[in-house]
Chain A
Amino acid sequence: MHGNRFRHNILTALLLAPATVWLVVFLVLPFVAIAVFSVGERAPEGGYQAAFTLAQYANLPARATAFWNTMMLAPAGALACLLVAYPVAYYLALKAPQRWRLILLALVVIPFWTSLLMRTYAWMYILGGRGIPALLAFVGIEDVRLINTPGAVLLGIVYGYLPLMILPIYVSLERLDRRLLEASADLGATPLSTFLGVTLKLSLPGVMTGFSLVMILLLGEYLIPTLLGGGKVFFIGNALVDLFLQSRNWPFGSAIAITLVAVSVVALIAANRISTRVSGARRVDLI
């Protein structure tokens, strides 16, 4: 008995070892390095110089605008994604003919196999002067500018993250017990109140999963605002890129990175709490 448990423990340890090593080497150690950098100083020519100071954290207000822009973008972008994704997921899970369902799902996922960079570049050309504006000029509407506008950034974000929102919602709707819908109708509920009271409510775990996934990724977003926003919209991701790649202020960049991680964790916990509350007592594990 005792020996059995011992063997069992060894097996568990062996099975967990690769993941543990991976996490320690690629998550914990880099995180410790960033934490150490964040209490250091910028070397005169840039980079890191050992020190122990909280000056970098005290300097965080210098990037307040970037934090603010990110805090606005992340939930707004996730919400826009949700509004587009929900009807698609609803159709896929409840309305689409069975034989089409798999094909339609594949169509949602396949673009995701191409790098986000590629897809965003494609949008640069579609929205750029030789794309849609050229078509508009052809029918007499001159000098329309679509690229490098907030609308272009929003479009890029919704397009880029849509599958991440559709899939969890689809899964939660697909699992929905259809008998509940019949029961609701039998008891005299209108289609709208059935949707609000039954379908929507039961799909909330999926909604919250998708929402958190997209929001957390948006907290670190910098590519889409750079390419489709013309580098004029400055998010915390852009601030980080500049601090490491332009001004080479590693300690300040590290302090911002740590702060961003802390903010993300808080956002994640909050989202988890909210989803637990709105979907009844059911616990939702995001990680």
Chain B
Amino acid sequence: MSKSYRDGLPISPEKFVDQLMRLKRGSIGRRDFLGLTGLGIATAVMAREIGIMPTPAFAAENLGDRMSIATWPNYHDPQTFENFKKDTGVAVEVNVFGSNEEMLAKLQAGASGWSLFVPTNYTISTYKKLGIIDPLDMAKLPNFDGSQEDPRFTSEGTIDGTTYAVPKNWGTTGFAVNTKKLAKPMTSWKEFWDVAMAEGDGRTMVHDYQLTTIGNALKYYGYSFNSLKQDELAKAEELLLKVKPHLFAVSSDYQPGMRAGDAWMTMCWTNDGAQLHRDIPEIAYVLGKEGGEIWTDFYAIPKDAPNKPAGYALLNYLMTPEVAVKEHLANGAPSTDARVNKLLPKEVLDNPILYPAADLLTPLEFGAAATLTDPGRAELMARFKSA
């Protein structure tokens, strides 16, 4: 598309589509749309065309002017929320969390103020059991298409036939290495922990998150990532206490340290690994060959959400493949939605950080619900942190 051709248009194609989306969502009137897009002359034709477009069920509801979402660090394209605000007038306040436990704690305490949040697969059954989340009213999510979702990643959102959460994306938990600082190639969790106490002394980060920090210490010995067995946890604790004095930090916000060059190696989620590698090519993402975690993050709506209409509206907006694809390009985690995968460029689909080889994926485990509420693992983590 040549520049001069674009210059001649009353409105750029991107702006036109944005205005069209606004109209579709009912946030501007048809007449405003025609005025804004400069298509007033074509009123007769366009009006008839748009008249047959499906109108989402929530269009008539009052969305208010603000809502709050709880999610993970570096997880969204900030533009998504800007566009949502432009379209609906609803400003989105983003709360960032470091662990599922923390999200659960806020929701258990009540009055979290969130109208949408992003729990990980293994927590959903607990939320349902505690009556913290609502079943989703699928009529309000016309942009979600369950038939296009990969069941391997999405099954935990539906309990006894009722859908409580719909998937955002999936990913893995491996580790990121600055290969300029730590040149020795690594392929296992055993090497991760050993290097942390040797060449990576004072430069290694682990998550402030019992599931992955304890889970990946268990992998050192080849135990299950989800183990609750006393003797296996005792071995993991022994390793963690030995590594502790050599660590740079115990924190789930590891991108700043890795980017600044203070940290050379960190436990890492797919999306952060992809972002770090994209911006700093010498940072590699490694999956431990012993296994580790595979996960799916979901969207769910708290029972006490203060603005459910806006929560549904944002969720439906995020389920639009054209919106979701931008989210995936920004955060770097693979999608569970075949419609989104069709829109992703080939180099993304070929990226081994996002789509690891099958032999690396096979040993990975989804987190188990029991680890979330097990007091033994929580106390182990406290002993590790206070050591």
**Residue of B at shortest CB range from A146?**
B262
Give the shortest distance, in Å, between A45 (CB) and chain B (any CB): 5
- Asked if B62 lies at the interface with its beta carbon under 8 angstroms from chain A, I say no
Whether A249 lies near B251 (C-beta < 8 A) is: no
Whether A44 lies near B386 (C-beta < 8 A) is: no
Whether A47 lies near B382 (C-beta < 8 A) is: no
Q: Count residues on chain B whose CB falls below 8 Å from chain A CBs.
A: 36
Inter-chain CA distance A263–B204, complex, in Å, is: 35
- Asked if A112 lies at the interface with its beta carbon under 8 angstroms from chain B, I say no
Whether B262 lies near A129 (C-beta < 8 A) is: yes
- Asked if B183 lies at the interface with its beta carbon under 8 angstroms from chain A, I say no
Inter-chain CA distance A46–B375, complex, in Å, is: 8
Inter-chain CA distance A234–B251, complex, in Å, is: 13
User: In the complex, which residues 256-272 of chain A have their Cβ closer than 8 Å to any Cβ of chain B?
Assistant: none
**With contact pairs A42-B375, A246-B99 given, residues A130 and B260 touching in the complex (Cβ less than 8 Å):** yes
Whether A234 lies near B101 (C-beta < 8 A) is: no
Give the shortest distance, in Å, between B180 (CB) and chain A (any CB): 11
Whether A47 lies near B108 (C-beta < 8 A) is: yes
Chain B residues, CB < 8 A from A238: 385-386
Chain A residues, CB < 8 A from B104: 46, 248
- Asked if B130 lies at the interface with its beta carbon under 8 angstroms from chain A, I say yes
Instruction: Place the interface of chain A in its size category.
Output: 20 to 34
Chain B positions 336 through 375: 1 when the CB is less than 8 Å from some CB of chain A, otherwise 0: 0000000000000000000000000000000000000101
Inter-chain CA distance A66–B385, complex, in Å, is: 9
- Asked if B381 lies at the interface with its beta carbon under 8 angstroms from chain A, I say yes
Give the shortest distance, in Å, between A233 (CB) and chain B (any CB): 9
- Asked if A75 lies at the interface with its beta carbon under 8 angstroms from chain B, I say no
Inter-chain CA distance A69–B386, complex, in Å, is: 9
Give the shortest distance, in Å, between A226 (CB) and chain B (any CB): 8
Chain A residues, CB < 8 A from B28: none
**Residue of B at shortest CB range from A67?**
B386
Chain A residues, CB < 8 A from B105: 46, 244-246, 248
> Which listed residue (A124, A128, A247) contacts B375, Cβ 8 A?
A247
Whether A232 lies near B262 (C-beta < 8 A) is: no
Chain A residues, CB < 8 A from B249: 148, 230-232
**With contact pairs A145-B202, A145-B262, A246-B99 given, residues A231 and B386 touching in the complex (Cβ less than 8 Å):** no
- Asked if B256 lies at the interface with its beta carbon under 8 angstroms from chain A, I say yes
- Asked if B387 lies at the interface with its beta carbon under 8 angstroms from chain A, I say yes
Tell me the interface secondary structure of chain B in the complex.
Answer: helix
Whether A44 lies near B373 (C-beta < 8 A) is: yes
**With contact pairs A45-B126, A45-B373, A147-B262 given, residues A247 and B379 touching in the complex (Cβ less than 8 Å):** yes
Inter-chain CA distance A246–B373, complex, in Å, is: 10
Whether A246 lies near B130 (C-beta < 8 A) is: no
Inter-chain CA distance A183–B106, complex, in Å, is: 63
- Asked if B248 lies at the interface with its beta carbon under 8 angstroms from chain A, I say yes
Whether B210 lies near A129 (C-beta < 8 A) is: no
Chain A residues, CB < 8 A from B99: 246
Chain A positions 125 through 146: 1 when the CB is less than 8 Å from some CB of chain B, otherwise 0: 0001110010000000000010
Chain A positions 229 through 243: 1 when the CB is less than 8 Å from some CB of chain B, otherwise 0: 011101000110011
> Which listed residue (A47, A65, A148) contacts B386, Cβ 8 A?
A65
- Asked if B378 lies at the interface with its beta carbon under 8 angstroms from chain A, I say yes
Whether B373 lies near A148 (C-beta < 8 A) is: no
- Asked if B65 lies at the interface with its beta carbon under 8 angstroms from chain A, I say no
- Asked if A62 lies at the interface with its beta carbon under 8 angstroms from chain B, I say yes
Chain B positions 246 through 280: 1 when the CB is less than 8 Å from some CB of chain A, otherwise 0: 01111100001100111000000000000000000
- Asked if A8 lies at the interface with its beta carbon under 8 angstroms from chain B, I say no
**Residue of B at shortest CB range from A65?**
B386
- Asked if B219 lies at the interface with its beta carbon under 8 angstroms from chain A, I say no
> Which listed residue (B102, B202, B244) contacts A246, Cβ 8 A?
B102
User: In the complex, which residues 85-142 of chain B have their Cβ closer than 8 Å to any Cβ of chain A?
Assistant: 99, 101-102, 104-106, 108, 126, 129-130
Chain A residues, CB < 8 A from B202: 145
> Which listed residue (B106, B247, B375, B386) contacts A230, Cβ 8 A?
B247
Whether A249 lies near B375 (C-beta < 8 A) is: yes
Chain A residues, CB < 8 A from B387: 65, 234
Whether A242 lies near B250 (C-beta < 8 A) is: no
> Which listed residue (A66, A245, A247) contacts B381, Cβ 8 A?
A247
- Asked if B18 lies at the interface with its beta carbon under 8 angstroms from chain A, I say no
Instruction: Name 13 A/B residue pairs within 8 A (Cβ), A-sorted.
Output: A128-B262, A145-B203, A147-B262, A148-B249, A231-B250, A234-B385, A239-B382, A245-B106, A247-B379, A247-B381, A248-B105, A248-B108, A249-B378
Residues of A near any B CB (own CB < 8 A): 42, 44-47, 62-63, 65-66, 69, 124, 128-130, 133, 145, 147-148, 226, 230-232, 234, 238-239, 242-249
Residues of B near any A CB (own CB < 8 A): 99, 101-102, 104-106, 108, 126, 129-130, 202-203, 205, 208, 210, 244, 247-251, 256-257, 260-262, 373, 375, 378-379, 381-383, 385-387
By Cβ-Cβ distance, the 5 closest A-B pairs, closest first, are A230-B249, A247-B378, A129-B260, A234-B386, A231-B250
